[in-house]
Amino acid sequence: MVASLDASAQDSLSIRFGYLSYEQALQSMPDYKIAREKTDKLWGQYEAELKRVEDEFNRKYEDFLDGQREFPKTILRKRQTELQELMTKNIAFKEDSRRQLAEAEAEAIAPLKEKLNEVIAKIAHERGYAFVINTDAEACPYINPQMGDDINELVTKSLQR
């Protein structure tokens, strides 16, 4: 009888959970490709501008190297200062570009993540899960399939509707 009570207590205490690859689910969304294309286009524009300013710097640096022996000291210092300022501006632009691209990507993906989170919450509620585990980045190297359910397919199908 004690064994029966112990088994019954374990059943009532068993926690069910779901698990999925959040990235895979996100990438399966129809609007994900559109969001990626927008951010890729923006990235391409920044990349072209970075190349342009790098080429401009390289051209001015080559001009400086070609004429440095012939320049009077004041012109030499002026050119060195110009190069240093240009390099500082280019570094600042590159850092600002990375920040703006990250913000643009986060902004483009935010509504998709919100929708994905709603779908996951709905499925978790319907199936009585205590929680849903994101298996990306090897965060969970082992999941007991008797205690948890792979919900990748359920989420993907729900997102396609």
Mean pLDDT, residues 16-42 taken together: 95
Residue 68, pLDDT score: 87
Per the structure, the count of domains in the chain is 1
Domain interval for residue 120: 2-160
- pLDDT for residue 5: 42
Tens of pLDDT, residues 87-110: 999 999 999 999 999 999 999 999
pLDDT band at 9 (very low <50, low <70, confident <90, very high): very low
pLDDT (average), residues 43-67: 94
Cα–Cα distance measured from residue 46 to residue 41, given in angstroms and rounded to the nearest whole number: 9
The tokens of 89 are what?
Answer: 């501006």
Q: Count CB atoms within 10 A of the CB of residue 105.
A: 17
Long-range Cβ pairs for the range 44-48 (8 Å, 24+):
46/97, 46/100, 46/101
Number of continuous H segments (helices) and E segments (strands) in the chain: 5, 3
Determine what percent of the chain is predicted with pLDDT higher than 90.
79
